[in-house]
Amino acid sequence: MSFADQQLARMVTNRAAPRWVPVGGALAVCAGVLVLARPALAGWIVFGVLALTAGVLEPLAPLLLLPFAVAFGSLVSLDAHGIHVGPTDVLVLALVLGVLAPRPAPPWGASADRPYSPGDWALSTLKGRRAQRAPGLDKPDSPVSTSHSRQRKVLASAATAVRRLWHEKRLAAWVFVALVAYLTVVCLSLVVATSRAGTLKEIVKWSEVLAVTAATLWLARRSGRLRLIAWAMIGAGVAQALLGYAQWVVATGDLGPGGASIRVFGTFAQPNPFAGYLNLSLPLALALVVFGDDARERWVAGAASVLLLGAQALADSRGGLLGLSAAVVTLAVVGWHRERLAGWTLLIGVPAAIVAWVTHIIPVRIEDAVLRQFRVNDVLHSGQVTPANYSTAERLAHWVAGLRMFAAHPILGVGAGNYNAAYARFAAADWPEPLGHAHNYYINVAAETGALGLLTFLAFTVVTLYLGWCVAHTAVLARAPARALALGLFAVLVALTIHNLTDDLFVHAIELQVALCIGCLLALKVQKLPTG
């Protein structure tokens, strides 16, 4: 070995290792131990880091992943010391941080429509305050003056946006007012709750609804983004439908009435919430088929509609079919601008049908056939419970228990999320076991949050339905390209409202996908979307 080679070898041997080498080695060892000891926890950590990183770089990413997390999050949920955490919670956190935090330009290049983050304004304010301590503040062209001018412009634009939202888009502002009012009542019910853990879960649930609604409104500023969100919801629904088909093929679903059929349930443990989840995407796909402008998109939406309809039939949920029927009627009435005819039909037809039913103008055999379809014939006539009407009798018993809770606690109820905890004191004699909710969300709200909660929730429901009708009606009259999305989103809210008469669909994080729909409707209402 030559002298130069000896000197080089000595330099390499004596060279100190970089400081990050031992730290990185220790972290790698810890990561390896964690993967071997708790692989599930390691996976959650990796997922959380990736979600938060994606949220900061592009907040639209967690928004698009949210429907899939709603659909399949129950498979990988984490329970630790009574705290239930799912992928939806991680994505909501990433979404909030992505919207609020200052965001650097993404590595693939800055986007022209990247919204100005509230965190950007906060960072600008902080820099301005720091610069105030530096000399040269009296110079007119100093960086501090420029920073102050930029802050004043941001404040002025924010104030103008708030004033426009209230004066010109007051309906959109009332959506948030009603939602915040209901969330406030849920928080107030904590003082009367027996199980405060259940109330805290409800507070977190509706806080996430508020966050997702606001974030969707902030991010969905272009029709392209709205279409991406819509197709994410349809894609997640199709994935659930395919899982339902697999359950039907291998016969792993629930037995239907009398054990005559298999009712599939996907990842939702029960057929009713599974059917309700399908109705969050099926009306949207149908709207794209009938009212869409792109022929290729209509074909794809048609295939998705067929798959979703088949899974809905396999779920065999009366509430799901009732909600879907209401959604289809909504698409037809609003899509072809027949609201006035539908209004007169309801105004005259419903009272006439009630009178004909009570006075038995309708033949008895037709009445019995209708009651048999809803599986209430034996319950109403003889009180006998059979395998065919068991679910109906059980549902009626839980309605009665919820109404008893409301009668005993009419102001704030028994506490949000406390239906199970209070059920034993109000249950019917033959139905001692609670199901977790009243099988009617409006009765459930009255039982858990009293008259205050019921009034605020009904106000939120009415204002969101009116928002959906206004957006869809305006889009249809203007023949805007976004009319199919507006009609589909409105029909989704109608299906949810009707189905909640027989079930509680705000389970398994379904409420977050509902918040996505409301946020998209708000974006269509507030933002000036391109018409071409």
Tokens in use for 245?
Answer: 């088909």
pLDDT value of position 219:
87
- Is the Cβ–Cβ distance between 64 and 224 less than 8 Å? no
Chain length of the chain: 532
Cβ-proximal residues to 238 (8 Å cutoff; 6+ apart), any chain:
281, 304, 307, 308
- Is the Cβ–Cβ distance between 410 and 449 less than 8 Å? no
- Alpha-carbon distance of 399 to 392, in angstroms, equals 11
| Helix, strand or coil, per DSSP, at residue 411 | coil
User: How large a percentage of the chain has pLDDT more than 70?
Assistant: 67
Place of tokens 């959109």: 172
E strands present in 54-154: 78-80, 83-85
- Is the Cβ–Cβ distance between 512 and 233 less than 8 Å? no
Residue 264, phi then psi, degrees to nearest 5: -85, 160
Residue 440, phi then psi, degrees to nearest 5: -160, 110
* Residues paired with 84 in a beta bridge: 79
pLDDT value of position 256:
67
- Is the Cβ–Cβ distance between 8 and 46 less than 8 Å? no
SS (H, E, C) 223-257: HHHHHHHHHHHHHHHHHHHHHHHHHHHCCCCEECH
pLDDT value of position 321:
93
Place of tokens 């790698």: 28
pLDDT tens track for 227-237: 999 999 999 99
- Is the Cβ–Cβ distance between 254 and 271 less than 8 Å? yes
- Alpha-carbon distance of 401 to 423, in angstroms, equals 7
pLDDT value of position 153:
60
- Is the Cβ–Cβ distance between 419 and 447 less than 8 Å? yes
Tokens in use for 355?
Answer: 């009178």
- Alpha-carbon distance of 263 to 319, in angstroms, equals 14
Tokens in use for 165?
Answer: 């939202």
pTM of the shown model: 0.81
- Is the Cβ–Cβ distance between 222 and 63 less than 8 Å? no
Report the 10 Å Cβ neighbour count for 168: 11
- Alpha-carbon distance of 262 to 96, in angstroms, equals 41
- Alpha-carbon distance of 489 to 507, in angstroms, equals 20
Tokens in use for 184?
Answer: 């406030």
pLDDT value of position 428:
78
pLDDT value of position 112:
45
pLDDT value of position 2:
60
- Alpha-carbon distance of 338 to 397, in angstroms, equals 39
- Is the Cβ–Cβ distance between 481 and 531 less than 8 Å? yes
Helix axis angle for 318-335 and 483-499, nearest 10°, is 150
In angstroms, the first-to-last Cα distance of the chain is 75
- Is the Cβ–Cβ distance between 268 and 313 less than 8 Å? no
Residue 427, phi then psi, degrees to nearest 5: -75, 150
Q: Which residues of the chain have pLDDT under 50?
A: 8, 12, 15-17, 20-21, 23-24, 27, 29, 31, 33-35, 37, 106-114, 132-144, 147, 380-381, 529-532
- Is the Cβ–Cβ distance between 203 and 190 less than 8 Å? yes
Q: Is 468 left (phi over 0), alpha (psi -120 to 50) or beta?
A: alpha
- Is the Cβ–Cβ distance between 303 and 286 less than 8 Å? no
Strand pairing report for 83-85 and 78-80: antiparallel
Helix (H) or strand (E) holding 262: strand 262-263
- The separation between CA 525 and the C-alpha centre of its own chain, rounded to angstroms, equals 19
Tokens in use for 512?
Answer: 């977050």
- Alpha-carbon distance of 482 to 478, in angstroms, equals 10
Closest of 264, 225, 272, 281 to residue 60, by C-alpha = 225
